[in-house]
Amino acid sequence: MLHEVCGTEPAADEVLRVAFERFGLSARAYDRVLKVARTIADLDGAARITAAHAAEAVRYRTLDRKYWNRR
């Protein structure tokens, strides 16, 4: 159902694929990033998630990992 609501452009799919391969994120993290990208697209007034929306959501995720996952 998430993919029905969060329609993406092919370029956005590629941004997400590369980001998840590079950072080794889980499927759960993918869903969270997709939801954030949908929110960013909504704030931008876009019907579909673009590469720019996906990239911004990934940046927020990497910031989250940098500052909150300290051990």
pLDDT in tens, 25-35: 889 999 999 99
pLDDT value for 11 = 97
pLDDT value for 4 = 75
pLDDT value for 70 = 52
pLDDT value for 46 = 95
**pTM of the predicted model as reported, rounded to 2 decimal places:** 0.82
Q: Which residue has the higher pLDDT, 66 or 42?
A: 42
DSSP symbols for the chain: -HHHHS-B-HHHHHHHHHHHHHHT--HHHHHHHHHHHHHHHHHHT-SSB-HHHHHHHHHHHHHHHHHH---
